[in-house]
Amino acid sequence: MKKSIVSTLAAAGMFFSFAQPYNVLAEAPPFFQYGSDELEVSQVAQYDSLAGEGGTEIMAFDEESGQAFVTNGAESGLDILNFSGLESGEFRQVDSSKRIHVEDFGLDQVDDITSVASHPSENVIALSVVSDPKTDPGYIVFLTKSGDYINHVQVGALPDMVTFTPDGSKVLVANEGEPNDDYSEDPEGSISLIDVTGGISEEKELRVKTLTFEERILDEKVRVDSKGTVQQQLEPEYITVSDDSRTAYAVLQENNAIAEMDLETETIKSVKGLGIKDHSIAGNELDAKENGEMEIENLPLLGWYMPDAIDTFSAGGKTYILTPNEGDARDYEAYSEEMEIGDIIDNIELNADHYEGYSQEELDGLVEDGLLEEMEDTELTAENGMNDDGVYEVLYSYGGRSFSIFDADTMELVYDSGSEIEHITAEAMPEYFNTNNDEIEFDGRSDAKGPEPETTVIGEINGTPYAFTALERFSAVMVYDISNPADAEFVTMISSRDFNEDVAGDVAPEGLSFIPAEDSPTGSPLLAATHELSGTVAVYEFLQTIEDDESPEEPSEGNYPFIDVDKDYWAYPYIKELYENSVITGKTDSTFDPSAEVTRAQFAVMISNALNIEAESAADSEFDDVPEWAQAQIQAVFEAGITTGKSDGTFAPNEPITREQMAAMTIRAYEHAEKEQAKRGDLVYSDENQISDYAVSAVQKAQELKIMTGTKEGMFQPKENSTRAHAAKVVSLLIKEVEK
């Protein structure tokens, strides 16, 4: 028997949700989960761009405002969403609050937005913008988080990915530098570094340094082919940065390699190849035959890992790189490396020296029994495997149909999921095994990269690190426990694709964003997946389960009595903490009534109790309309300058407290406790003109301290009343700020 618990009871710092409810669908998209019940998963939101294919591609999330920024390739633009109103266990249909088009930037001859990143602390997002033609230098465009233009800089050709360093000091750009279709132009791949330490403004000229690759730093395992120079072939695809912001890693997908950069010296230190995956050995089986059958078996194929969107994590003092081993070919009008076994079947003489799993006799026997004819549609690269006589003696395929963990220092393989992904999808949904993303077809992708792992991100749930890997073709997310990097364990697989139609539900995940519990509007970890083919974003909520004998002790009647606020309620940790520290009481002996509006008197009492503020004379009372139960505390906060009451000399204790009033009282309480002024942040709310003059500074300070943040569609809603649960969270966060 297992029980679900909200991740660490939703650590302090999660978002307020003051927003009006989102549209609730009569029926959520179909949701499928397979595997152990270590994690309970549900879909809590979906955004539909209504643009179809390409409508959602890459997403960045801003924890302060709860906004999500999603590139929309179908519209050559960016959609701004807001997740701050999401609630645990409730499905919501999210709408876009704003759509920005690439032509809005005033740049000549630009084509599309390929990536977006959100600054970790400043009111800035960065967009990578491709020129037209794509072989010309591209741009990074900086906007505010409400979508207003700030500045732009020029970078290398075809900027395909942009990211901020965790400390916010640099912007890193992977300039892929693809050739045009006729190969008349083939720019070199590069990586641009943009120094933003002094902030980003319209007037400021930003320093840009673009790094190119030197052939001498490549090791012998880096894959190169026959077309163009080595520098032209090196095409950075994606960048991940270490937690200390000192080192970055860029994946060069077609080169089956990863580059390491020193961000302090601003140099590319090395480019190391990832090697190959031998599908002839046990554990590396695959189904590479499109024959209408499910046959996961060893075959004479060597797979280039060729990962796409990578991520890093640390364990035991070491840094590791996670790779989704998608595979990708160079395929243009003037040149393509793609071919099928049937194209060269008369020019193949397999040599067992290249395969660990076969003797020459075994290989010859397989060929004599017609193996190559059975695999005639299997896709290969024409660039590799040919001997000096022009005969293919080894067959190279694209991708590993797996995710891997590499040692970041050596790029040595630490773990690979082997054939597990195909086995798991076969067990979970056998009728849709190796289906395509645009067509429901059993076994349809077996001859070409199978389920096709596209992107991987790492997220921690209750102290356990998990790897989330999206399968682009099958349309699912694999979840692995990576506590032991050398022995990762499959936990669960989730999908919200509707397999009853070719393209329905959430189809073809392209990007993943993990939102930890402390930044989540629901109080539990979220995973947002952008789905390129359906043009939708799916948001999944994760609850961890634990064994009964590991369950936390249930609160007794004496120390936690509220039956209407249980462990799964988003505000439980705040309410429980404040109750046990005698900061709050219930509406009755057994209920808290969390959704009821909090009154001015109730909030003043909470502030007084939280900071142990006492009146000079409990017998005195500045306000005649204050009830006896609250007189001492309200007098205390009045004497402390935290509240001044109403203009007519009353306190109006039973009036609901508005959000701007709450911000004002909370910041005065903070400054009273700290004996200094709080720092003001920039207002980023679309309704900031509705904030009363007296409260503007307080709202700015509350936002900077992350005690109160925005709501749906980037609004503050200053005149909206708050609830008892919301008040508990604000007071809890105030206490934590004062105790720092």
For 26-63, write each residue's pLDDT tens digit.
468 899 999 988 899 999 999 999 999 999 999 999 99
703/209: higher pLDDT:
209
Per-residue H/E/C for 629-653 = HHHHHHHHHHHCCCCCCCCCCCCCC
Instruction: Please report the pLDDT score of residue 206 as a whole number.
Output: 95
Rounded to whole angstroms, the Cα distance separating 195 from 682 reads 21
CB 735 within 8 A of CB 25: no
pLDDT bucket at 2, cuts 50 / 70 / 90:
very low
CB 113 within 8 A of CB 126: no
Q: What is the pLDDT of residues 202-225, one digit of tens each?
A: 988 999 999 999 999 999 999 998
CB 133 within 8 A of CB 142: no
Average pLDDT score over residue span 322-332:
96
Instruction: Please report the pLDDT score of residue 9 as a whole number.
Output: 22
Mean pLDDT, rounded, of the chain: 90
Average pLDDT score over residue span 68-90:
95
Q: Which amino acid is residue 672, in one-letter code? A: H
Rounded to whole angstroms, the Cα distance separating 594 from 578 reads 13
Per-residue pLDDT at 5 exceeds 60: no
Distance (Å) of CA 192 to CA 104, 159, 189, 619: 24, 9, 10, 68
- Percent above pLDDT 90 for the chain: 75
Q: Which residues pair with 116 in a beta bridge?
A: 127
Instruction: Please report the pLDDT score of residue 193 as a whole number.
Output: 98
Instruction: Please report the pLDDT score of residue 712 as a whole number.
Output: 54
- H helix or E strand, kind and range, residue 321: strand 318-324
Rounded to whole angstroms, the Cα distance separating 72 from 505 reads 18
CB 674 within 8 A of CB 668: no
Average pLDDT score over residue span 116-131:
97
Per-residue pLDDT at 721 exceeds 60: yes
Instruction: Please report the pLDDT score of residue 25 as a whole number.
Output: 47
Rounded to whole angstroms, the Cα distance separating 368 from 355 reads 18
Q: Helices 572-580 and 724-739 meet at what angle, rounded to 10?
A: 70
Among residues 612, 714, 709, the alpha carbon closest in space to that of 64 is found at 709
CB 33 within 8 A of CB 493: yes
Instruction: Please report the pLDDT score of residue 36 as a whole number.
Output: 86
Q: What is the pLDDT of residues 84-112, one digit of tens each?
A: 999 998 999 999 999 999 999 999 999 99
Average pLDDT score over residue span 244-251:
96
Among residues 355, 179, 296, 324, the alpha carbon closest in space to that of 240 is found at 324
> Max CA-CA distance within the chain?
103
Q: What is the pLDDT of residues 486-535, one digit of tens each?
A: 999 999 999 999 999 999 999 999 999 999 999 999 999 999 999 999 99
CB 687 within 8 A of CB 19: no
Instruction: Please report the pLDDT score of residue 570 as a whole number.
Output: 83
Q: How many CA atoms lie within 13 A of 409 on its CB side?
A: 4
- Percent above pLDDT 70 for the chain: 93
Indicate the pairing of strand 125-131 with strand 110-118: antiparallel
**Angle in degrees, CA 506, 508, 514, rounded to 5:** 75
Q: How many CA atoms lie within 13 A of 65 on its CB side?
A: 34
For residue 505, count other CB atoms closer than 10 A to its CB: 23
Distance (Å) of CA 25 to CA 31, 278, 526, 684: 14, 47, 19, 30
Indicate the pairing of strand 92-94 with strand 67-72: unpaired
Rounded to whole angstroms, the Cα distance separating 156 from 673 reads 51
Structure tokens, 334: 């003037």
Among residues 358, 173, 211, the alpha carbon closest in space to that of 281 is found at 358
Rounded to whole angstroms, the Cα distance separating 736 from 740 reads 6
Distance (Å) of CA 164 to CA 171, 271, 695: 5, 22, 32
Q: What is the pLDDT of residues 623-642, one digit of tens each?
A: 888 888 888 898 899 989 99
Q: What is the pLDDT of residues 434-485, one digit of tens each?
A: 999 999 999 999 999 999 999 999 999 988 999 999 999 999 999 999 999 9
Instruction: Please report the pLDDT score of residue 472 as a whole number.
Output: 97
Q: What is the pLDDT of residues 356-411, one digit of tens each?
A: 999 999 999 999 999 999 999 999 999 999 999 999 999 999 999 999 999 999 99
Q: What is the pLDDT of residues 136-191, one digit of tens each?
A: 999 999 999 999 999 999 999 999 999 999 999 999 999 999 999 999 999 999 99
Instruction: Please report the pLDDT score of residue 552 as a whole number.
Output: 36
Average pLDDT score over residue span 648-669:
89
* Contacts for 451 with CB less than 8 Å, ≥ 6 apart: 401, 421, 422, 425, 434, 445, 471, 472, 473, 474, 476
Instruction: Please report the pLDDT score of residue 55 as a whole number.
Output: 96
Per-residue pLDDT at 618 exceeds 60: no
> b/e for 216-250, b at 16 or more Cβ within 10 A?
eebeeebbbbebbebbbbbbbbbbbbbeebebbbb
* Contacts for 464 with CB less than 8 Å, ≥ 6 apart: 481, 483, 544
Average pLDDT score over residue span 344-367:
97
Instruction: Please report the pLDDT score of residue 459 as a whole number.
Output: 96
Q: Which residues pair with 5 in a beta bridge?
A: 544
Q: What is the pLDDT of residues 288-303, one digit of tens each?
A: 999 999 999 999 999 9
Per-residue pLDDT at 266 exceeds 50: yes
Average pLDDT score over residue span 243-249:
95
